Amino acid sequence: MKASIKWLREFVDFSLTPAETADALTMAGLEVENIVPNSRDEDDSILEVNVTPNRPDCLSIRGIARELSAILRLSFKDNIISIQKEEDAGPSIEIKDTNLCPRYASRIIYGVQIKPSPERISKRLESHGIRPANNIVDVTNYVLLEMGHPLHAFDLNKLAGKRIVVKTAGSADKFITLDNEKRTLSKDMLLIWDAEKPIAIAGLMGGLNSEVTSSTVNVLLESAYFKPASIRRTSKAVNISSEASYRFERGADINNVVLALNRAAQLITEIAGGKITKITDNYPVPFSINRISVSLKKINDILGINIEPSDIQEMLTAIGIENKIEGQGVTVVPPGFRQDIQRDIDVIEEIARLYGYSKIPSTLPKTETQPLSQNIRWNLIKKIKDSMRKSGYSEVINYSFLNPSDLDRLKLFKEDTRRELIKIKNPLKKEEEALRTTLIPALLNNVILNISHGEKSLRFFEISSIFLHSGQDLPIESLKMAAIYLKDKKGLMWQDKHDGFYDLKGALENLFFEIRIKNYLFRQDFSLIEPYLHPGKSCVININDRTVGFLGTLHPEVADNFEVAPEINILELDIDKVCSLISPKITYKPLPKYPYIERDIAIIVPENVTVSDAEKTMLDINTDIIESVKLFDIYAGKPIPQGKKSLAFSIRYRAGDRTLTDEEVNQVHSKIIKKLEDSLKAELRS
């Protein structure tokens, strides 16, 4: 709501500067967001006031001025309205739906002369964001700004029967509003009719068929009160949001109906001439007075203050609330323009506001001491993030939205459940119309963006929810971690040159150590692997035989689809599953008493033999003196024959109860060699 300082001064005689005025209003709950010069009057400033939805009474100059007079304890000078010579009868008004329209008042002004408004009107409209039209329409807008009550002017000669009927649309399903738009109606929308046809959508906009134009001579002026919820529903349904609907849906002042009508009628005769008829004020459902009692103790308890009853009375009186101290409480009757005040807490808020929040002391709550309650999942996520960070990965946060076509680019199968998208009815963009069912596309897009900045090596991770169909109202929200690694092909000369897959795998193994996950393994399983991963360079991650995620190199076709380099590695982890598989207990094992003996072994095996095959073969020997088997070299190429590779392991032998002899170790060691030769067709490398 824009409010000119000069206009406010017509109602309150205050001497504050615009900045001081803004501060006074702001600290009383009418936040002034901006002070701008009045472009139509160089001696004036305009306050841009953020009026909260509970204060429709301040959607007018008069309302803000009334508030200002209360805050500053200055007297309020209301408009003096006097209408003379009302001889002719007012229009006939029939309200059929009194629950949607409890009051409708009208006057006719005969013989007006349509022309542009004088500058004092048009400039004010312009400086408050309303484009002047003609003197009649301008007056209705002027009164809307000044008094906060929306009015409408009809061209009387276009109304059949020269009467007003207020009723719902019923079977009328189309209506052309004065902006020349054809609106689709539904039967419960409230309309204003003449004797035959609809002439306005109540509280929203008049019809083209009854518009005031340059040829208008007689005007029917409407001032009514419409039920807020009905106006809002219609406004949403027909997609009209006007200055009028904005006020009606927040709640106009039913007691203001006649005052606003008279003010407009008076202004019209002033600037357009004409003769005013008597008023017709159809008011079938009278405003009910709300009496509220508030306990004085409750006021002090809730605010944490100690205020005198006389101070309370003084404040309430200042904002126009009738009040009376009765026993241990105060009984109040809010004025018609304060329909937001319905319960004791609403009154307490008014007292707090006028008392000044700054005067309320700051204390810390006196409560029982309770032990810190740990959120295990939250702590774990923190640990995971920190572990990834220490492995070189930076955290990203992407929008939860998904471009459905990204699922095609990921090559997801037709029957993949991640294609059952949760869609937003009103997305900002088509590419953001669904909720994510996978974190991968966003991470790929992060890589693409950064490559475009010239980055060559990227490590990102994200922990966010994905949203899967559940068959219920709310989707399943599953917390996932995804990480992406683009390794710089060139690298740095002293840094290792192995496949980026192993870097990412290492980061994950560190993470597992950090959160105490033990029984994990990486399994190559073509039937389970994600379609967007390279089948030969990817694996399933299992913990205690449950699949918790995937790790692998991007499928070359998917890399093509996203126009990125194929040497991108991806990790995906189901955080909730992982959390459920943690073994938090640490049990100490006594330190070994006897020394170990270490033997290295180098074998040449066919290419398809995995390190895990070799390890398992070695550990499968029936003995209890193998403490550990560790890979220390892999090599393929000359002089190793084609189709083969060399693996080298360190085997550590130790017994718990004695020092091992060379002989004992030799015995087991040769068994290992034999087993490797037999089961893996391994040759010992000399």
Task: In angstroms, give the least distance from the CB of 364 to another protein.
Answer: 5
- Residues in region 14-53 near another protein by CB under 8 A: 22-23, 26-29, 31, 33-34, 52-53
Instruction: Tell which positions 628-647 bind another protein, by CB under 8 A.
Output: none
Interaction with another protein in 487-506: which residues (CB under 8 A)? 492, 494-495, 503
Which of 289, 449, 619, 631 lies at the binding interface for another protein (CB under 8 A)? 449
Cβ proximity to another protein, 111 vs 506, nearer residue: 506
Concatenating the DSSP letter of every residue in 432-499 gives: GSEE-S-SHHHHHHHHHHHHHTT---EEEEEEEEEEE--SSSSPEEEEEEEEEEE--SS--TTS----
In this chain, which of 84, 87, 239, 378 binds another protein, going by CB under 8 A? 378
Note whether 424 and 435 are within 8 A (CB). yes
CB of 498 to another protein, least distance (A): 13
Contacts of residue 414, defined as CB under 8 A and 6 or more positions apart, other chains included, come to: none
Among 149, 250, 418, 645, binds another protein (CB under 8 A): 250
By 3-state DSSP, what share of the chain in percent is helix, strand and coil, each rounded to 5?
A: 35, 25, 40
Q: In angstroms, what is the minimal distance from the CB of 134 to another protein?
A: 30
Q: Which of 298, 334, 144, 336 is nearest to 221 (CA)?
A: 144
List the structure tokens of 311: 């101070």
Nearer to another protein, 102 or 475 (CB): 475
Whether the Cβ atoms of residue 204 and residue 222 lie closer than 8 Å to each other: no
474 is a site residue for another protein (CB under 8 A): yes
Single out the residue of 261, 282, 238, 225 nearest to residue 109, CA to CA.
Answer: 261
Least separation, in Å, of the C-beta of 683 and another protein? Answer: 35
Q: Which of residues 210-239 bind another protein (CB under 8 A)?
A: 228-229, 232-233
Based on CB atoms, which residue is closest to another protein, 227 or 669?
A: 227
Q: Give kind and range of the element (H or E) at residue 546.
A: strand 546-554
- Using the rule CB under 8 A, which residue among 142, 225, 337, 460 binds another protein? 460
Closer by beta carbon to another protein, 327 or else 361: 361
Select 146 or 344, whichever has its Cβ closest to another protein: 344
In the list 149, 158, 409, 459, the residue contacting another protein (rule: CB under 8 A) is 459
Window contacting another protein (CB under 8 A); options: 448-456, 525-533, 539-547, 638-646: 448-456
Nearer to another protein, 395 or 560 (CB): 395
CB of 306 to another protein, least distance (A): 11
The CA-CA-CA angle for residues 66, 68, 74, to 5°, reads 85
- Using CA atoms, how far apart are residues 352 and 338, in angstroms rounded to an integer? 16
Q: Nearer to another protein by C-beta: 310 or 375?
A: 375
Considering the complex, state which of residue 382 and residue 616 has its C-beta at the smaller distance from another protein.
Answer: 382
| Residues of this chain, 75-104, that bind another protein according to CB under 8 A | none
User: Both tokens of residue 633?
Assistant: 């070299």
Contact (Cβ atoms closer than 8 angstroms) between residue 418 and residue 550: no
What one-character-per-residue DSSP string does 225-241 give? E--HHHHHHHHHHHT--
Are 202 and 191 in contact by the 8 Å Cβ rule? The answer is yes
* Cβ pair 653, 665 in contact under 8 A: yes
What part of residues 502-561 is at the interface with another protein (CB under 8 A)? 503
> Of 293-322, which residues contact another protein (CB under 8 A)?
301-305
Rule CB under 8 A: say whether 425 interacts with another protein.
yes
- The C-alpha atoms of residue 579 and residue 609 are separated, in whole angstroms, by 33
The verdict on 186 binding another protein (CB under 8 A) reads no
Compute the least distance from the CB of residue 399 to another protein, in Å. Answer: 5
Query: What are the start-end ranges of the E strands in 562-656?
Result: 568-574, 597-606, 626-635, 644-653
Q: Is 650 in the site for another protein (CB under 8 A)?
A: no
579 binds another protein, rule: CB under 8 A: no
In the complex, minimum distance from the CB of residue 174 to another protein, in angstroms, rounded to a whole number: 24
3-state secondary structure 97-136: CCCCCCEEEEEEEECCCCCCCCHHHHHHHHHCCCCCCCHH
Site for another protein in 393-412 (CB under 8 A): 393-401
Spatial CB neighbours of 149, under 8 Å, sequence gap ≥ 6? 60, 143, 223, 247, 252, 253, 256, 257, 259, 260
Query: Which of 211, 462 has the CB closer to another protein?
Result: 462
CB of 164 to another protein, least distance (A): 25
Binding range to another protein, per CB under 8 A, among 135-143, 453-461, 596-604, 605-613: 453-461
Q: Is the Cβ of residue 154 or residue 460 nearer to another protein in the bound state?
A: 460
First to last CA, the chain: 90
For the bound state, the minimum distance from the C-beta of residue 84 to another protein, rounded and expressed in Å, comes to 39
Which CB sits closer to another protein, 509 or 613?
509
Return the bridge partners of 461, or none. Answer: 395, 483
CB of 390 to another protein, least distance (A): 6
- For another protein, which is the closer residue by CB, 111 or 392? 392
Contact with another protein (CB under 8 A) among 67, 249, 253, 406:
249
Binding positions for another protein, 332-371, rule CB under 8 A: 343, 345-346, 348-349, 352-353, 357-358, 360-370
Binding residues for another protein, total number by CB under 8 A: 95
Least distance from C-beta 147 to another protein, angstroms? 20
Q: Which is nearer to another protein, 33 or 678 (CB)?
A: 33
User: How far apart are CB 337 and another protein at their closest, in Å?
Assistant: 16
Which sign does the torsion angle of CA 164, 166, 167, 171 carry?
Answer: positive
Q: Are 254 and 155 in contact (CB under 8 A)?
A: no
User: Cβ(350)–Cβ(316) under 8 Å?
Assistant: yes
User: Least distance to another protein from the beta carbon of 514, Å?
Assistant: 14
Q: What is the separation of C-alpha 421 from the centre of its chain, rounded to a whole number of angstroms?
A: 20
Beta strand 92-95 with 163-168: parallel, antiparallel or unpaired?
Answer: parallel
**Which C-beta is closer to another protein: that of 455 or that of 563?**
455
> Shortest distance, CB of residue 504 to another protein, whole angstroms?
11
Contacts of 587 (CB under 8 A, 6+ apart): none
Contact call for residue 375 and another protein (CB under 8 A): yes
Identify any residues that bridge with 184 across adjacent strands, giving them in sequence order: 174
Cis check for the bond before 228: say yes or no (omega within 30 of 0).
no
The Cα 29–Cα 63 span in angstroms is: 14
- Taking the least distance from each CB to another protein, the nearer of 505 and 669 is 505
Q: Give the residue with the Cβ less far from another protein, 382 or 630.
A: 382
CB of 108 to another protein, least distance (A): 33
Residue 103: Cβ-neighbour burial (10 angstroms; 0-12, 13-18, 19+)? buried
